[in-house]
Amino acid sequence: MSQAVIGGVLLAIIGILLILRPHGVWKATERWKLLGSAEESPAFVMVTRIVGAVLAAIGLLVCFGVLK
């Protein structure tokens, strides 16, 4: 397996996790900054899923050799 394929797979996995678990990403990255029982905003969830979709698409394109 080449480094490009491994990198593409990692990007795709991270992207899929961002799409499926935006609440977990918020808890891991933003929750500690807030006091009380704060929750993530709908905008954060939407942007996280969009970024995840872009990363997954780029990862798949790298895996299939379209991007180098």
pLDDT digits (tens, 9 = 90+) for 16-26: 999 999 999 98
Residues 6+ apart with CB under 8 A from 24: 17
Q: Is the pLDDT of residue 38 over 90?
A: no
CB 25 within 8 A of CB 48: yes
Percent of the chain with pLDDT over 70: 99
CB 60 within 8 A of CB 16: no
Compute φ and ψ for 56, nearest 5 degrees.
-65, -40
Per-residue pLDDT averaged across 51-62, rounded?
95
HSE, CB side, 13 Å, CA atoms: give it for residue 36: 3
